């Protein structure tokens, strides 16, 4: 079965950074501008499937991405989360960490209630591919 992340050429075009074990790119359905996904290179479905080295690589990349998001978007805080399993909202069977930069007054929620954050009513607009590539390029400048 094809992976929605591994097998899509357009995602490679918006890749921000790649290490031997992890990579980061903007999601095509962002909550706010700069909403980034960090994935292991190896296509695994759950956190428990990761090796210690993969976990370290993901969290090392998280620190790099957060610093870049502070510089590029003025992030004042972050929501970081992943979903595992269909009942938890996982729709792509390749584990991915959502990194959502937050600012006072942005379009997202201000208090944290997991059901509202993950399953709020309504839809988000799909971003144009060129816009996603621009976001990736802007963040790469800060790495």
Return the active site residues.
Answer: 96
68, 143 Cβ separation under 8 angstroms:
yes
E strands, 12-105, are 17-18, 22-26, 36-40, 77-81, 97-102
Identify the burial level of 82 via C-beta atoms within 10 angstroms of its C-beta, where 0-12 means exposed, 13-18 middle and 19 or more buried: middle
Assigned token pair, 56: 């370290």
Cα(48)–Cα(83) distance, integer angstroms = 13
> Angle CA(93)–CA(95)–CA(96) in degrees, nearest 5?
120
């Amino acid at each position: 079965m094809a992976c929605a992340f591994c097998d899509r050429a357009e995602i490679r075009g918006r890749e921000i950074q790649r290490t031997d074990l992890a990579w980061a790119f903007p999601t095509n359905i962002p909550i706010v501008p700069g909403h980034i996904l960090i994935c292991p290179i190896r296509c695994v479905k759950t956190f428990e499937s990761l090796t210690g080295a993969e976990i370290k690589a993901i969290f090392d990349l998280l620190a790099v991405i957060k610093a870049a998001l502070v510089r590029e978007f003025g992030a004042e805080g972050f929501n970081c989360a992943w979903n595992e399993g269909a009942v938890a909202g996982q729709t792509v069977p390749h584990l991915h960490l959502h990194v959502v930069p937050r600012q006072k007054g942005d379009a997202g929620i201000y208090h944290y209630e997991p059901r509202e954050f993950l399953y709020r009513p309504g839809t988000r607009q799909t971003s144009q591919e060129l816009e996603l590539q621009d976001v990736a390029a802007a963040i790469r400048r800060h790495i």
